[in-house]
Amino acid sequence: MRSARAGAWLAVLAGGLLAAPAAHAQAPAPEIDPLASRAAITVDLRVGGRVQGRFQDFDGRLERHPDGRLQVHVRLDARRLVLDGPGWMDRSMRSEKFLDVAHHPVIRFRSEPFAPGLSREGGWMAGELELRGVARPVRFQVAPAECGAPGLDCDIHVSGVVSRREFGMVAYRVWLQDGVGFDFRVRLRQSGQP
């Protein structure tokens, strides 16, 4: 599956807060609250089983455009990825054959501008994912909100799968499937809050 539903959660979060752009024109756009949010990754083994991990360091922000649309910017620190699997899997994921953490420690996502209602209604968010120094267009799936103020009163949930081949991760084909899954549960805070 070529789409990555990974970073869309950021857009979703803004929905309730930013639905009326004129009323909020001077207010700073919210940021992702890294202490209350979660970013995870999964890789499926060909012989069965799944290796899961989480990024202990990630952040993001929403940018408000003059026309009221929003744009999400996300940064994941691959050096702070903690895997639940065995040590060999951790070494393999960090190696230059996979995430290449030594040369490309940061994974970035930048969305295309989107309507604020996406955070409440759910849907697709297009953008660009940069992984291992390779940038590719992706689409993320944003889940419909479970509350009236997504990102504040409930998580913004985004999940999806990217093809590792598209980002130059062609090694380990015998024992790893092509898809790399992302799962995000995002909470927001106002800019400048600790």
Q: Is the pLDDT reported for residue 17 higher than 60?
A: no
Detail the DSSP E strand segments found in the chain.
Answer: 31-32, 38-45, 50-55, 58-64, 70-77, 81-83, 106-111, 123-131, 134-142, 156-163, 176-186, 188-189
Tens digits of residue pLDDT in 25-43: 456 678 889 899 999 998 8
What pLDDT does 192 receive?
Answer: 62
172 token code pair: 């380990």
On average, the pLDDT of the chain sits at 83
Residue-range domains of the chain with CATH:
9-189 (2.40.128.110)
pLDDT of residue 27: 60
Q: Is the pLDDT of residue 109 over 50?
A: yes
Element (H, E) at 9: helix 9-13
Rounded to whole angstroms, how far apart are CA atoms 35 and 47?
35
pLDDT of residue 176: 85
- Radius of gyration, alpha carbons of the chain: 17
What tokens does 51 get? Answer: 């290796």
**18 and 83 in contact (C-beta within 8 Å)?**
no
- Distances in Å between the Cα of 185 and the Cα atoms of 68, 98, 142, 190 are 24, 24, 11, 17
User: pLDDT at position 187, please?
Assistant: 93
pLDDT at 124 over 70: yes
117 has pLDDT over 50: yes
pTM of the complete model: 0.81
- The CA distance from 127 to 112, in Å, is 5
Helices H, strands E: what count in the chain?
A: 3, 12
Closest by CA to 110, choosing from 30, 2, 8, 1, is 8
